[in-house]
Each structure stands twice: as C-alpha cells, then as structure tokens.
A and B are shown apart, each in its own frame.
Chain A
Amino acid sequence: QSALTQPRSVSGSPGQSVTISCTGTGSDVGGYNYVSWYQQHPGKAPKLIIYDVSKRPSGVPDRFSGSKSGNTASLTVSGLQPEDEADYYCCSYAGDYTLRVYLFGTGTKVTVL
C-alpha cells in the first residue's frame, strides 16, 4: 500500500483560501468515508482538525473544511491566518472488515505569504 498523494506545497496570502488535495484509490479514500486531516507545526505533534471527511473536533475553527469526491479528498483553509502555516496530512482507513489499516498522505506544506 502506497501513501496517499498530496501536493508538496501550497501558499496563499492572509485572508485567502487554499485547498489541499489527497488522492488515493478505491481501496482507501474512495472506498470509505473515514478520511481525516492533521495539522503539524514544526517540532510539534500532529493535531486532528477534520474527521469523517468533513467534521471538525471541538475547538477547531470553522475556517477548516473537508470534502471528498471519488478517490480524492480535499481540505480547504478559508481566511488564511499566519498560524495556519504548517504541514498538513490526510489519513484514510484502508482496511476491510477483518483488517484495520490506515494510510497517511505524503504531506503538504502550507505557506502564508
């Protein structure tokens, strides 16, 4: 199983929106609605920001939104803030009814210009 594919980097100015794609296959992203997104600042542990494709945990700003179409999931950050500059990783369930397996994306660095 290969890592899910994400763009290496995206950038935007404060207040703009950026969208990060996460492409997998029908055996992971396309096969289940169990997609999550994690934000990681340098030297820090990852933080869950989206789960179940589009749900936000308590405390995550509604500037973060998720969606999915076919084998590709997307994370949109609206109204970009300086503190949004970080690495972002998607993750998808990739198992079956007898095997519990997860795949992360390759990661995307978001730069706030």
Chain B
Amino acid sequence: QVQLVESGGGEVQSGTSLRLSCAASGFTFRSYGMHWVRQAPGKGLEWVAVISYDGNKKYYGDSLKGRFTISRDNRKNILYLQMNSLRTEDTAVYYCAKDLEYFDNSDYFDYWGLGTLVTVSS
C-alpha cells in the first residue's frame, strides 16, 4: 500500500533553514509528480510546490518568493523541501502528497502523508 512519511520538522528560529523529507513506498515513485502542501495551525490548506516525476520541472506557490526548493531522489524514493530564510508565518504542518496519475497527467493529490510540524519562532 502507498505510504508517505514526512520527517525533518521541528522548532527553529526565524531566518534559519530546515530541510524536510518524505519517504515514499508502495508505488513506483519515479513515475509520479509529488507535491508539498502546508496547513498553519487552525487554518486552511495552502499548496506549496510540485516537482515532476523526473525532477526536471518545479513550480512554487506565489507566497514563497524563492525561499523554498523542492527536489527528489528517485533512487532513494525520497522527496525533499529545502526551506530557507524561515519566517514565523511559515509555521505549519507540512504534508507531502502524490499525484493521482503518473507522468504528471493529473492535478490532484490522492495520497497524503501524516505531515510534519514546523514551528518558526521569533
């Protein structure tokens, strides 16, 4: 069965960096686009970024302004999110999610991890 397990969250100071990981199993990771979606405490979902199945295309939400970088290792089945210059407003649970169809042929997220909490303090 599909499993997505996020890790790397924690409490950090404003202005520092953090790298999140998402370990994938139960499907052919290298064939699917992958996303990061975040949710601030008590707030709604916000799409963060997507990376194509082969890692060649990356797109980001407007609010990130070049501070975040999504990447993947198709040999290790791991998705990453490098977060730099963190701000208090980046405090959220970060979920990784899988594309519904392979080879970037869908715009939906059919499996989600349980999320990892990032807390940015001032």
Determine if chain A interacts with chain B: yes
Interface residue range, chain B: 20 to 34
Question: What is the bound-complex CA distance between A101 and B35, given in angstroms?
Answer: 11
Given A36-B107, A51-B108, the answer on whether A104 and B46 have CB atoms closer than 8 Å is yes
Contact indicator per residue, chain B 90-116, by CB within 8 Å of chain A (1) or not (0): 000001000010000011111011110
- B-contacting residues of A (Cβ < 8 Å)? 1, 3, 34, 36, 38, 40, 45-48, 51-52, 57, 89, 91, 93, 95, 99-107
Complex-state Cα separation, A102 to B37, whole angstroms? 10
- CB neighbours (8 Å) of B50 from chain A are 100, 102
Complex alpha-carbon distance, A81 and B41, angstroms? 27
Quick check: A101 and B61 within 8 Å, CB to CB?
Answer: yes
A29 CA to B113 CA, complexed, in Å? 26
B29-76 at interface with A (beta carbon < 8 Å):
35, 37, 44-47, 50, 57, 59, 61-62
Residues of chain A within 8 A of B46, CB atoms compared: 3, 104
Residues of B within 8 A of A100 (CB): 50, 57, 59, 107
The reply to whether B57 and A107 form a contact with Cβ atoms under 8 Å apart is: no
Given A102-B47, A104-B46, A105-B44, A48-B108 contact (CB < 8 Å): yes
18 contacts between A and B (CB under 8 A): A3-B44, A38-B109, A45-B113, A45-B115, A46-B112, A47-B112, A48-B108, A51-B108, A52-B108, A57-B100, A91-B45, A91-B47, A91-B108, A91-B109, A100-B59, A101-B47, A101-B61, A104-B44
| A62 CB to nearest chain B CB (Å) | 18
Q: What residues on A are CB-neighbors of B109 within 8 Å?
A: 36, 38, 46, 48, 91
Which A residues lie within 8 Å of B107 (CB)?
34, 36, 93, 100, 102
Contact A1 B62 (CB under 8 A): yes
Beyond known contacts A3-B44, A51-B100: 19 more, CB 8 A cutoff: A34-B108, A45-B113, A45-B115, A46-B45, A46-B109, A48-B100, A48-B108, A48-B110, A57-B100, A89-B45, A91-B45, A95-B59, A99-B59, A101-B61, A102-B35, A102-B50, A104-B37, A104-B44, A105-B44
- The interface residues of chain A lying within 8 Å CB-to-CB of B100 are 48, 51, 57
